[in-house]
Chain A
Amino acid sequence: MVGSRRVAGMTGVTLRETAPARPAPATADVRRRRLVGLCVLLAALLLATVASLAVGARALSPSEVWHGLFAASDPDQRRNEIRLIVQTVRLPRTVLAIVAGIALGVGGALIQGYTRNPIADTGLVGVNAGASFAVATAIAVFGFAEPTQYVWFAVAGAGVAGAVVFGLASIGRGAGDPLTLALAGQGVTVFLAAMTTAVSLSDKAAMDALRFWNAGSVAGVGFDVIWPVAGLVALGSTAALATLPALNLLGLGDDVARGLGVDIVRTRVIGIVAVTVLAGAATAACGPIAFLGLMVAHVARYLTGPDYRWLVPYAGLLGALVLLACDIVGRVVVRPGELDAGVLVAVLGAPSFAVLVWRGRIKGL
């Protein structure tokens, strides 16, 4: 992506023959602030991770967490119990919350960029509706009852729905043109949601399972699911990061981007496939968590400005932080029960987001 380095700075679009040897003071300042922000987010995420391992029905001290993480089986029963809690309960859900949060945050920022629509969410590429429909079908037709059985159906459903949306959006002129992508996603989502409702209205067991699945939770999934999901998220994120300079240029309009040497079709294909993989993987493992991607993308845009090379990493970290924090809060608010992270993302996140909107902090694209 020739030229993107100069174009994407705060100073704007002037492509000069003699580029300034050093960035202007203002630019350096902005860059430093963004780097500091990134470090703060990372530190907060680290703290949240420790808290997530320590907080729960049984509170653990940091030293107990440390011991529980790294000790092999222990003859002392109490310490062995702690080890089991940390390694089989808290660690998986913490890892999943981080992985899924990154996926949804990055996915949300990307889908808003590629559809050029400030109200696009990760569900738009059809993966939420596809996964829900697959789960409903798996239960109604095959009689699966356990989440571990239908999670692979969810993966397949999300993948197929995402592929269908992408295929439909790329028929004809201009693959993945923003409006077509948004509307094709909406059309397929509407259709699949209706089918899911139809299935769940005619099958009690499916309805029963779907009402829990719909809440969106990071608990109860083992590492056998989490590692493949994390692999997909790593792949998707890498592909996403590679397209960011080009995505910046796409924001200037197709003609300008083409003039600056961007391969528009290739960029869009990679970007949208990345969104589908990210959102699909997260949805399959956690259930549909709506609103998170949309929210953190806007907050990241507020923090960094419109440069996607900064916006997307911020969105990913924010997504992880919010999802992890919501999962922690969910464990303590309704003791002895738990509140699903997906529910809390909306209940806690949405009002905070609305306040930001109301104070004029959130802008369009």
Chain B
Amino acid sequence: MSGTEVDPPTRPTTRPGVRFGQVSFVWRPRVVLVTLSLAAATFLMFCVSIAVGDFRLGLDRVIATILGRGDAVDEFVIMDLRMPRALAGLIVGIALGVSGALTQSLARNPLASPDVLGITGGASAVAVFLVTVSGGASAAIAGSVGLSTAALAGGLGTGLLVYALAWRRGIDGLRLILIGISANAVTQAVTTWLLATADIRDVARAQAWLVGSLDNRSWDEVRVAFWCTLVLMLVVVAIAFQFKPMHLGDEVAAGLGVRYVAVRAVLLLCAVLLAGAAVSAAGPVPFVALVAPQVAMRLVGTPTPPLAASGVLGALLLIGADLVARTALPVTLPVGVVTAAVGGPFLVYLLVRANLRQRA
């Protein structure tokens, strides 16, 4: 016993562990605190986003109505008119944030994002094709299943094709990303070429679709995205405990009992499908999936992108940007533009701050 009395100064600092039956994890107060604050801020932003509009509502009435105790008028305005938009922002933000965190972690590359997995590129190419090429087939497709559905099918098709091509006795992060970048380059070239040869009026319509939007969401679109995201999130949460050791490398993860081939394959598929769910609800909103995990990582203070905080931060960014775009700006801008205009500089600020601190 006396040996352990002498040892402590040389021991690494340890953190208290928490154990509930089979489940155990390390207690990191800052992670929990920051994630909960972000969640609270997101909920507040969600309610403010519902409250603000042509017909102003108090926050108390919004919360009461969400909890099912509002009057009929409030219920109509909130649940039928404004809720789909706010909910779409929430779902898309969470889906993109988590998808980005998964991709960046599994590829071990901060530049990776689901954008390079082909989903958004494929969806964009199909949508632009349907908008700009006016002809029998494309008009028929757009008319029968709707532009968004057709685009989503194109995006998922491209994403799954990339995934299948990257499959060689399991999924390798770098291989997936490089093939995804190739697919993205092709779809982007096709999009560019279609835009360059199209009629200028169609170009404006296509551009509007290309940056993603939360305008005029209906419950139908939101419902599909909601259930998809929910199911995928459950899968991710179920595997999340296997996920953490994978940051230490395949060998260490295998030594710790992680079936890393299966875990990586399932989680990357989840990342692809989550990005697809986001596209189905809002179109290809750019940058959120790239910026949210990196910002979340720096706020929470973890060495790798945290899943929960990335999702919550994505939602906060998206809903906040949507609110700013609707109310504060003189011109109407799509939500993706505002998200990027805020998120990009904020990421740079966090980087610079960290670098200045390290010198001090």
Any A CB within 8 A of the CB of B141: no
Q: How far is the CA of A188 from the CA of B352 in the complex (A)?
A: 13
Instruction: Judge whether A172 and B359 touch: CB under 8 Å.
Output: yes
Q: Which among B192, B200, B290, B352 is the interface contact of A186 at CB below 8 angstroms? A: B290
- Chain B residues near A (Cβ < 8 Å): 109-112, 116, 165-166, 168, 174-175, 177-179, 181-183, 185-186, 188-190, 192-193, 195-196, 200, 203-204, 207-208, 211, 286-287, 290-291, 294, 331, 333-334, 336-341, 343-345, 347-348, 351-352, 354-359
Q: If the complex has contacts A190-B340, A190-B343, are A360 and B351 also in contact, measured as CB distance less than 8 A?
A: no
Q: Which residue of A lies closest to B339 (CB)?
A: A194
Most buried by A among B110, B178, B334: B178
Instruction: Judge whether B341 and A194 touch: CB under 8 Å.
Output: yes
Q: Which residue of A lies closest to B206 (CB)?
A: A211
Residues of A within 8 A of B196 (CB): 211-212, 214-215, 340
Instruction: Judge whether A187 and B110 touch: CB under 8 Å.
Output: no
Q: If the complex has contacts A173-B355, A358-B179, are A347 and B189 also in contact, measured as CB distance less than 8 A?
A: yes
Instruction: Judge whether B168 and A184 touch: CB under 8 Å.
Output: no
Instruction: Judge whether B112 and A119 touch: CB under 8 Å.
Output: yes
Instruction: Judge whether B182 and A339 touch: CB under 8 Å.
Output: no
Instruction: Judge whether A190 and B331 touch: CB under 8 Å.
Output: no
Q: Which residue of B lies closest to A181 (CB)?
A: B351
Q: If the complex has contacts A173-B358, A354-B183, are A204 and B200 also in contact, measured as CB distance less than 8 A?
A: yes
**Minimum CB–CB distance for B282 against chain A, Å:** 15
- Beyond the given A211-B196, A211-B203, A342-B189, please list 18 additional residue pairs across the A-B interface where CB-CB is below 8 A: A119-B116, A119-B177, A172-B352, A184-B352, A186-B111, A186-B344, A189-B344, A194-B286, A194-B339, A197-B334, A198-B341, A201-B211, A204-B204, A207-B200, A208-B200, A215-B196, A350-B181, A357-B182
- Chain A residues near B (Cβ < 8 Å): 117-120, 124, 168, 171-174, 177, 179-180, 182-184, 186-191, 193-195, 197-198, 200-202, 204, 207-208, 211-212, 214-215, 290-291, 294, 298, 339-340, 342-347, 349-351, 353-354, 357-358, 360, 362, 364
Instruction: Judge whether B188 and A119 touch: CB under 8 Å.
Output: no
Instruction: Judge whether A350 and B183 touch: CB under 8 Å.
Output: yes
Q: How far is the CA of A350 from the CA of B121 in the complex (A)?
A: 14
Q: Which 4 A-B pairs have the closest CB atoms?
A: A172-B355, A191-B344, A194-B340, A346-B189
**Minimum CB–CB distance for B232 against chain A, Å:** 25
Residues of A within 8 A of B338 (CB): 194
**Minimum CB–CB distance for B213 against chain A, Å:** 11
Residues of A within 8 A of B343 (CB): 190
Q: If the complex has contacts A183-B351, A346-B189, are A201 and B334 also in contact, measured as CB distance less than 8 A?
A: yes
Instruction: Judge whether B189 and A183 touch: CB under 8 Å.
Output: no
Instruction: Give 21 pairs: A residue, B residue, CB < 8 Å, sorted on A.
Output: A119-B112, A171-B352, A172-B358, A174-B355, A182-B110, A182-B111, A187-B344, A187-B347, A187-B351, A188-B348, A191-B348, A194-B337, A194-B338, A201-B207, A201-B208, A212-B196, A290-B188, A350-B186, A351-B182, A353-B178, A354-B179
**Minimum CB–CB distance for A1 against chain B, Å:** 27
Q: How far is the CA of A6 from the CA of B106 in the complex (A)?
A: 36
Instruction: Judge whether B348 and A195 touch: CB under 8 Å.
Output: no
**Minimum CB–CB distance for A175 against chain B, Å:** 10
Q: If the complex has contacts A194-B340, A201-B334, A340-B196, are A347 and B203 also in contact, measured as CB distance less than 8 A?
A: no
Q: How far is the CA of A207 from the CA of B181 in the complex (A)?
A: 25
Q: How far is the CA of A157 from the CA of B175 in the complex (A)?
A: 34
Residues of A within 8 A of B351 (CB): 168, 180, 183-184, 187
Instruction: Judge whether A339 and B179 touch: CB under 8 Å.
Output: no
Q: How far is the CA of A343 from the CA of B36 in the complex (A)?
A: 46
Instruction: Judge whether A215 and B211 touch: CB under 8 Å.
Output: no
Instruction: Judge whether A183 and B294 touch: CB under 8 Å.
Output: yes
Residues of B within 8 A of A191 (CB): 340-341, 344-345, 348
